[in-house]
Amino acid sequence: MKFKRIDWICILAITAVYAAIALYNLGSTKSPETLWEPAASGESFYVDLGQSKQLERVNIFGGVGTGKFKLEFSGTPDVWSNPLDVNEDVGNVFIWKSQPLNVAARYVKFTVTSPGFTLNEMAFYEQGGERVALPIAGVTPDANAVAKRGEPANLFDEQSLIPEYSNFMNSTYFDEIYHARTAYEYTHGIVPYENTHPPLGKLLIAVGMELFGVNPFGWRIIGTLFGIAMLPLIYVMALRLFKKSKYAALAAGLFALDFMHFTQTRISTIDVYGVFFIMLMFYFMQRYYTMNFFKQPLRKTLIPLFWSGLFFGIGVASKWIVLYGGAGLAIMLAISLFERYREYQASGRLLAEGKIKDKELLGTCREAVNSFWKNTIITLATCVGFFVIIPVIIYSLSFVPGLSASAEGFTIKGLIDSQKNMYNYHSQLVATHPFASSWWQWPFMKRPVWFFSGSEGLPQGQVSSIVTMGNPLIWWTGIFAMLATLWITLKRKDKNLYMIWIAFFSQYVPWMLVPRETFIYHYFAMVPFMILGIVYIMKLLDSKYPGARYVSYVYVAVALLLFIAFYPVLSGMQVSGDYVKDMLRWFPSWVF
Amino acid sequence: MIKSTRTAVMTVLMLLLFLLPVTSIYADGNLLQNPGFEEGGEDAPSNWTKDMWISGDNAGILSIQSDEVHSGSKAAVIENIEPNHLKWVQTIKATPDSYYKISGWIKVVSTAGEGMGANILAVGVGGGYPSVTDTAGEWQYLEYMGQTGPKQKEFGIGASLGGYSSLIQGKAYFDDLSVEKLDAAPEGANVISLDSAAVSQDAGDKKADTPHKVSPTKMLLISALFSVFFAVLYTKAFRSEKLMKQPENVYSKWLSIAIGIAFILRVWIGLTAQGYQNDMNTFIAWGQRMVDLGPGKFYEEGYFADYPPGYLYILYMLSLIRGVFGFAHGSGGENLLFKLPAIISDLVLGYFIYQMSRKKLGSGIAFGLTLLFLFNPAVLVNSAAWGQADSFFLIFLLLSIHGAANKKFVQSAILFALATLIKPQALIFTPVLLFAFYHHRAWKQLGFGALYGLGIFGLLAAPFFWNNGGLVGLINLYKSTLSSYPYSSVNAFNLYALTDPMWSSLDLTWLGITYRVWGFIFILVAVAVAAFYSFKRDRLDLSKSYFIGMALIVVVFVLGTKMHERYMFPAVILCMFTYIASRDRRFLSLFLGFSLTQYINVAYTLTHLNAGINPGADGIVLVTSIANLSLLLYMLYIGYDVYVRGGVKPLPAPPTPEEKFDEDLKIIEQIRPHQKGGRLSDEV
């Protein structure tokens, strides 16, 4: 398959435009990074505000860990009153939170009640102070205290970085409190809090934080880059399947316009990595599938198998859902080998009948008969290596950072216990989340998941939301396009296109069977293949009806219009609440 | 002295009684304060706080009033003017890891929208507790059990209209809420977690009670297995020279082996699978009653017996046999014994398929078809698993239609009478016989048939009704059976599983018409459809009878009301016989379709019933219902193509040696190395 100039132009154009949109307002590049992690209960410090102020609230940027502390207030640094208990819980990691106060004080004493938490920054505000932090005259720590990390003065050294209001640009939202936190813990040798998904996705998040700092941009950038990279990838996949640049561009364009692709790659969670590697592994399996070890040297056919297995392993180390796709890979391998078997049988029969005169054909038949079993066995044996041994190694290695932080270090027992814990969690997760939805509700987008709801600092009537859902045009037509693809490719015996529905259903069917609580974003892994199905149907229509190309233009235009219309609630952009209520909430179950 | 002391004590006690308020704020054991909303003002009841998702007076109102009360003089009222979630909330101190019973009385005025209805909220918990959108104008009692988390010291309870992110409009009254601590975990109840902080992240810490989630895995695997089996037969076996051209005695031998294996399989399933205990117990009880009271006193006002007399004779015999062998009540042997008539009927039907298709299709294909029936999951689940007797009934129905198809009218009528005596559903198939008689002007046979048929019917029914209601009693029995279960769908995955939840009242309307009326309409539609196929083109061709019978039951099942999940069972074998009569291969595909939908419908319902619930509106139900609708349309289309347009698509014959050679050559051409200079299409 040769890349033509038009291909380069399309890939670059679509990728560049999407990248610009995806990186815009991804997150702040500055967050308070110097921290204080007290070691024991009772440790304390107090701040001097310079003079007595009527305090209205205190803003806190929490770091990794949970615990409790107490604030007390006074005009003099020896007698304290008005204690306020603050609970630094799981939902405070890397988020700006506000505690209301109503006390006049010059000094504020901070005492650790229950250690385990980390704080990065604090600021006090006075009534009528116009949301500007009060300057700190001095910080006096408890002389005997030796903190685990940092010192109390660190809580007041980055006051210029304090945002006026807490929102997604400067804080974590939804499951970022778990994944970004775990990524941080991996790189800082802390025992990870979240242990319900395998580590590789979080390690990739950690790379972003190492390169760009521990700030929202840092913990989201890698996922967003992977999301951008999905576009050239689907372009190449579509080009291989449909052979024409037009359909490749359609596939990449529609994927760029899908809402879930946009939101899932901009939030610091790990779905993006699972889906990216699923796409890669199916791409390489498709490469293998179109090869034939009777026509090409066997070792050449093993190369795409190697890549497929490698990305399968990396994918499983990111999220277990990639295992479902593994079943699809096995089916494709089985079909491919079965085709070779048919060729082998046909060769045998033809040789036995002895009716062929063509020398070349005779040679082909003999070759096939002689080499089938050898080739098949070697293929299967190497697949054990590529799809079992290598993935197990990658998977086990990915646990090294997390397990090393624990007391026992990296042990086989620790590794196996982690798997048991993960399995128990997933098999017992009971449905009580208000935004959960079941597998048959996903194609129709019954219940989008509301990731972020802006509350602070929004003018009257304005809202800021981030919701994850699919592009209605793409998703609602997608499920029907998928069923049509299944039916038509089977009827026409378009064997090279089976991958589209094998990939889709091998991932979808397991969700019908798992008992755990599920959400609409579990459908993300099926979206690229759904889009390939849509493009296939468009290709069929083009070949039957000359006017059909206008349909595809209109289709893309409507998808684009929908993307623009919904962009505010996909990106957290501040927008009129009435606009969201009247124009975007199409169904009562769409709550955002 | 004693007298005055006693009087004094009595007086003091009575005075104390008067001091107690009429409705106590602290009910014994009730941890809520002011549970009946008696204390405090109309906008500020003591100990309760308002919580509004969307605030503002035009979004909703929380208040106390005195017009509608359950007890005392006041009750809470919540009115969601916009879709909203409003609640009166109270926080209670609690001990960790303890069980609480939460309950209250709710009266719903109206609700509108798709959100969670009126409920007694566990603050912070998204769902799992009961809610109600309609209480039929009465005060309804709701309760559920909750468990506090391992570190939880308090939780909130609310009188709530709507749910978290599940907004609803409407108005409801709340009164007499109660939270009581339980000493021990409640038996068997669904306990929800009250720990709102620990929604997702506790890995293995709390032993959460998983709600009844019926897993469809085994059912889907068996469906996949059968589909593969069908595909192999259809594409390979039926086209294989070797398998299709064996001598006759080989097939007879294979048939005996197949029937043997089918029998052993059914016995094994009969002993290991959990049948529908309700039906099994009913059958056993009826059999016992027949032995104890005899047919004359079997039917009795107030005793539940909705079967006509036919099968009761069988149950009578089974009961006698049970006594002879001394099977204990509830034993596996007894269960198997009562499943035996259906199991044997399955094998008999398999044998029928072989015998009746041999001449026309050849023994090879006949044997394959028999296998498709004997090892069909839809058939296995009905007789060996569930324990119902549809196969037994089917023998008579099938023979009756077979008689009509072969112009043996009298025989057909007699068998039809017997079928009706076993199950009233046979009456659905009346048009098949009537049309047959009519087209062939077989009035004399109709007369004789009716005579003999009604005669046998009367003879067998007589012992039951002679001294027990007479003819009127017999007619009443059939009338009550046909009108029982007045619901839109009784676990049938058909049209009504899509429009509204199953078990909806017949008086509910859909598209402006009540389900009751829809039921009548579609019975007429079914008869019209049957008439269409019967009267079009060749009226005298009675081989259509199987198709007409299938069309009747499929239309009635998929579009009719009050259908039970097993009622489409006859379609499976009737489809098989339609294939045999017409030789159109599309009917074989239809056979696969009906087998799978019937199997999934019955198996899924069975697993739910054994878990104590009915199947709800989940993906399996919805997809199967859509499949049934599609199969209905496909069936009508094939029927039209075959019986009106006359276009038949037979199974392709085994390929000739030349065809095989050509096909092999085509395959090998694919792997021929390319010409020099050309590019392989799959090289980069």
Q: What is the CATH number of the domain that holds A123?
A: 2.60.120.260
Reference A204, options A112, A109, A273, A300; nearest CA is A273
Q: Is the pLDDT of residue B127 over 70?
A: no
CA B580 – CA B360 distance, rounded (Å): 8
Q: What is the pLDDT of residue A354?
A: 82
* ipTM reported for the complex surpasses 0.95: no
CA A277 – CA A329 distance, rounded (Å): 13
Domain membership of residue B469 (yes or no) is yes
**Which residues are within 8 A (CB) of B385 and not within 5 positions of it... i.e. 6 or more apart?**
B269, B270, B273, B274, B275, B603, B606
| Domain that includes residue B632, residue range | 485-648
Which residue has 């008992």 as its token pair? A515
Side chain identity, residue A47: V
Domain membership of residue B665 (yes or no) is no
Residue in chain A lying closest to B203 (CA): A425
CA B245 – CA B233 distance, rounded (Å): 15
> A387 and A268 in one domain?
yes
Domain membership of residue A43 (yes or no) is yes
Q: Tell whether the torsion through CA atoms of B87, B93, B99 and B102 is positive or negative.
A: negative
CA A245 – CA A82 distance, rounded (Å): 70
What mean pLDDT comes out for the span A478-485? 96
DSSP-assigned letter for residue B45: B
pLDDT band (50, 70, 90) for residue B536 = confident
DSSP-assigned letter for residue A154: G
Domain membership of residue A183 (yes or no) is no
pLDDT digits (tens, 9 = 90+) for A214-243: 999 999 999 999 999 999 999 999 999 999
Percent of chain B residues past pLDDT 90, beyond the cut: 40
Q: Which two tokens stand for residue B498?
A: 């899509």
Cβ <8 Å between A440 and B623: yes
pLDDT digits (tens, 9 = 90+) for A437-464: 999 999 999 999 999 998 888 898 999 9
Is residue B181 classed exposed, middle or buried when 0-12, 13-18 and 19+ CB atoms within 10 A define those classes? middle
Domain membership of residue B207 (yes or no) is no
The number of domains in chain B is 4
At residue B342, the 3 state secondary structure works out as helix
DSSP-assigned letter for residue B40: B
Q: Helices B430-439 and B443-465 sit at what angle, rounded to 10 degrees?
A: 150
> B225 and B162 in one domain?
no
CA B567 – CA B521 distance, rounded (Å): 19
Cβ <8 Å between B128 and A438: no
Q: Is the pLDDT of residue B16 over 60?
A: no
B contacts of A421 (beta carbons < 8 Å): 203-204
> A349 and A481 in one domain?
yes
> A105 and A227 in one domain?
no
CA A373 – CA A365 distance, rounded (Å): 14
> A227 and A129 in one domain?
no
> A303 and A392 in one domain?
yes
B 149-168: CB under 8 A from A: 163-167
Q: Is the pLDDT of residue A335 over 90?
A: yes
Percent of chain A residues past pLDDT 70, beyond the cut: 100
Query: Using CB atoms, which residue from A196, A440, A509 is nearest to B622?
Result: A440
Residue in chain B lying closest to A422 (CA): B203
Range from A275-289, B122-136, B385-399, B414-428 carrying the lowest mean pLDDT: B122-136
pLDDT band (50, 70, 90) for residue A529 = very high
> A295 and A228 in one domain?
yes
> A11 and A141 in one domain?
no
CB A537 within 8 A of CB A481: yes
Identify from B600, B667, B681 which residue to disrupt to test chain A contact, counting A C-beta atoms within 10 A and taking the largest count: B667
| Domain that includes residue A78, residue range | 36-161
Range from A64-73, A252-261, B465-474, B576-585 carrying the lowest mean pLDDT: B465-474
Q: Is the pLDDT of residue A146 over 90?
A: no
Q: Is B524 on the interface with A (CB under 8 A)?
A: no
User: Can you spell out the DSSP letters for B444-507?
Assistant: HHHHHHHHHHHHHHHHHHHHHHTTTTHHHHHHHHHHHHHH-S-BSEEB--SHHHHHS-TT-BTT
> A439 and A292 in one domain?
yes
Reference A441, options A487, A508, A506, A501; nearest CA is A508
pLDDT digits (tens, 9 = 90+) for A147-188: 888 989 999 999 889 998 999 999 999 999 999 999 999 999
Q: What is the pLDDT of residue B9?
A: 60
Identify from A2, A193, A364, A432 which residue to disrupt to test chain B contact, counting B C-beta atoms within 10 A and taking the largest count: A432
Q: Tell whether the torsion through CA atoms of A95, A100, A101 and A106 is positive or negative.
A: positive
pLDDT band (50, 70, 90) for residue B190 = low
Other beta carbons within 10 angstroms of residue A83's beta carbon come to 12
Q: What is the pLDDT of residue A243?
A: 94
pLDDT digits (tens, 9 = 90+) for B485-530: 788 899 999 999 999 888 888 888 889 899 999 999 999 999 999 9
> A10 and A75 in one domain?
no
Instruction: Tell me which of A161, A194, A209 is where a domain ends.
Output: A161
Q: Is the pLDDT of residue B271 over 90?
A: no
Range from A138-147, B161-170, B287-296, B450-459 carrying the lowest mean pLDDT: B161-170
A contacts of B663 (beta carbons < 8 Å): 346
B contacts of A89 (beta carbons < 8 Å): 197
Alpha helices in B294-362 (DSSP H): 309-325, 332-361
CB B499 within 8 A of CB B519: no
Q: What is the CATH number of the domain that holds B79?
A: 2.60.120.260
pLDDT digits (tens, 9 = 90+) for A421-433: 999 888 887 767 8
pLDDT digits (tens, 9 = 90+) for B360-395: 888 899 999 999 999 999 999 999 999 888 999 999
At residue B562, the 3 state secondary structure works out as coil
Q: What is the pLDDT of residue B208?
A: 31
At residue B67, the 3 state secondary structure works out as coil
Cβ <8 Å between B203 and A421: yes
Domain membership of residue B20 (yes or no) is no
Q: What is the pLDDT of residue B326?
A: 82
Exposure b/e, B405-433, CB count within 10 A at least 16 = b? beebbbbbbbbbbbbbbbbbbbebbebbb
Side chain identity, residue A533: G
Cβ <8 Å between B672 and A364: yes
Residue in chain A lying closest to B210 (CA): A430
> A268 and A149 in one domain?
no
A contacts of B240 (beta carbons < 8 Å): none
B contacts of A438 (beta carbons < 8 Å): 618-619
What mean pLDDT comes out for the span A282-287? 96
User: Can you spell out the DSSP letters for B94-132?
Assistant: --TT-EEEEEEEEEEEEEESSS--EEEEETT--S-S-EE
A contacts of B220 (beta carbons < 8 Å): 509, 512-513
Q: Is the pLDDT of residue A494 over 60?
A: yes
Q: Is the pLDDT of residue A261 over 80?
A: yes
CB B398 within 8 A of CB B349: yes
Cβ <8 Å between A434 and B166: yes
pLDDT band (50, 70, 90) for residue B8 = low
pLDDT digits (tens, 9 = 90+) for B598-607: 999 999 999 9
Q: Is the pLDDT of residue B287 over 60?
A: yes
Alpha helices in A175-297 (DSSP H): 176-187, 200-212, 216-242, 245-257, 259-266, 271-289
Domain membership of residue A94 (yes or no) is yes
Rama region for B294: left / alpha / beta (φ>0; ψ in -120 to 50; rest): left
Q: Which two tokens stand for residue A133?
A: 């932090």
> B478 and B490 in one domain?
no
**B280 or A494, which is more confident?**
A494
The number of domains in chain A is 2
Q: Helices B309-325 and B332-361 sit at what angle, rounded to 10 degrees?
A: 130
Reference A418, options A201, A197, A175, A200; nearest CA is A197
Q: Is the pLDDT of residue B6 over 80?
A: no
Residue B60's H or E segment, with its range, is strand B60-65
Other beta carbons within 10 angstroms of residue A19's beta carbon come to 17
Q: Is the pLDDT of residue B79 over 50?
A: yes
Instruction: Tell me which of B438, B456, B484 is where a domain ends.
Output: B484
> B460 and B555 in one domain?
no
B 167-206: CB under 8 A from A: 167, 192-193, 197, 199-201, 203-204
CA B367 – CA B353 distance, rounded (Å): 8
Cβ <8 Å between B83 and A588: yes
CA A270 – CA A205 distance, rounded (Å): 8
Q: How near does any CA of chain B get to the CA of A141, in Å?
A: 32
Instruction: Work out the mean pLDDT of chain B and round it to a whole number.
Output: 85
CB B557 within 8 A of CB B493: no
User: Can you spell out the DSSP letters for A44-109?
Assistant: EEEEEEEEEEEEEEEEEEE-SS-EEEEEEEESSTT--EEEEEEEE-GGGTT-EEEEEEEEEEEEEE
What mean pLDDT comes out for the span A63-79? 90
Q: Is the pLDDT of residue B585 over 60?
A: yes
Cβ <8 Å between B213 and A515: yes
**A109 or B194, which is more confident?**
A109
> B438 and B294 in one domain?
yes
Reference B86, options B178, B34, B177, B163; nearest CA is B163
> A262 and A123 in one domain?
no
Q: Is the pLDDT of residue B397 over 90?
A: yes
Q: What is the pLDDT of residue B617?
A: 85
Query: Using CB atoms, which residue from B193, B201, B682 is nearest to A290?
Result: B682
Query: Using CB atoms, which residue from B83, B220, B670 is nearest to A343?
Result: B670
B 52-111: CB under 8 A from A: 83
> B415 and B360 in one domain?
yes
Cβ <8 Å between A343 and B167: no
CB A355 within 8 A of CB A376: no
Q: What is the pLDDT of residue A495?
A: 92
> B251 and B225 in one domain?
no
DSSP-assigned letter for residue B200: S
Is residue A158 classed exposed, middle or buried when 0-12, 13-18 and 19+ CB atoms within 10 A define those classes? middle
> B139 and B86 in one domain?
yes
Residue in chain A lying closest to B664 (CA): A346
pLDDT digits (tens, 9 = 90+) for A344-373: 999 998 888 887 788 888 888 888 899 999
Instruction: Tell me which of A161, A177, A203 is where a domain ends.
Output: A161
Instruction: Tell me which of B245, B263, B284 is where a domain ends.
Output: B245
Query: Using CB atoms, which residue from B128, B619, B682 is nearest to A432?
Result: B128
CA B608 – CA B214 distance, rounded (Å): 7
Instruction: Answer yes or no: pTM beyond 0.90.
Output: no
Cβ <8 Å between A343 and B83: no
Q: What is the pLDDT of residue B526?
A: 95
Reference B538, options B645, B400, B431; nearest CA is B645
What mean pLDDT comes out for the span A184-199? 90
What mean pLDDT comes out for the span B43-56? 82
Q: How near does any CA of chain A get to the CA of B469, in Å?
A: 52
pLDDT band (50, 70, 90) for residue B681 = very low
Q: What is the pLDDT of residue B212?
A: 53
> What is chain A's alpha carbon radius of gyration, rounded to the nearest angstrom?
28
Domain membership of residue B93 (yes or no) is yes
Domain membership of residue B61 (yes or no) is yes
> A507 and A392 in one domain?
yes
Q: How near does any CA of chain B get to the CA of A139, in Å?
A: 34
Domain membership of residue A466 (yes or no) is yes
Q: What are the C-alpha distances in Å from A253 to residues A10, A279, A500, A565, B72?
A: 9, 16, 18, 17, 66
Q: Is B661 on the interface with A (CB under 8 A)?
A: yes
- Furthest C-alpha separation in chain B: 132
Q: Is the pLDDT of residue B683 over 50?
A: no
pLDDT band (50, 70, 90) for residue B210 = very low
Q: Tell whether the torsion through CA atoms of A479, A485, A488 and A489 is positive or negative.
A: negative
